[in-house]
Amino acid sequence: MTLTKSVTDILNGTIESVKSVLPLEITVEKPALFTQPYTQHSIGVLIGMTGDAKGRIIIDGDEIVFGKIGEAMFGMMLEGEMLESFAGELGNMIAGGLSTFVSQRGFEMDITPPTVLIGQTKVYGFTKAFRLPVKINNVGDLMIVLMVELN
């Protein structure tokens, strides 16, 4: 399996997962490669990937964006601990969808439990990563960061 095909499958799997999880109209912009550090701004979720594609996924956004997504999914605005718990669960759903997508393409991939990041956080410890900007109509933006190390 080539590196390019693997990264393409992971990016496509992430996009498909986001589209299937979020009950909102979204536009995914072109992914961009970058190097460390990544600065997360308000609230984020970090999920590890193990197996053929090792690495981490960060889903980063403002509290209001996570709150509006929660409202669209559950019919009520979420805040405080409920919002933080929801952010972790949203990350789980997106990473789980990615794991399913890539397993259908011959990858072995598992995910770790989510770690919710609150406040401004700098993330180091990766060589290269992809930024995948997601614009959600009438809600705001999420940034999905994929730090992938392939075997």
- Reported as a single tens digit per residue, the pLDDT across 85-102 is 999 999 999 999 999 999
Question: Sorting pLDDT into bands at 50, 70 and 90, what band is 8?
Answer: confident
Full residue range of the structural domain in which residue 34 is found:
3-150
Q: What CATH number has the domain bearing residue 111?
A: 3.40.1550.10
Average pLDDT over residues 132-147: 95
Mean pLDDT over the full length of the chain:
90
Per-residue CA distances from 146 to 7, 56, 77, 95, 132 (Å): 9, 6, 28, 11, 8
What is the Cβ-side half-sphere exposure of residue 106, based on CA atoms within 13 angstroms? Answer: 5
Structural domains of the chain, count: 1
What angle do helix axes 3-21 and 80-103 make, rounded to 10 degrees?
A: 130
C-beta of residue 148 within 8 angstroms of C-beta of residue 67 = no
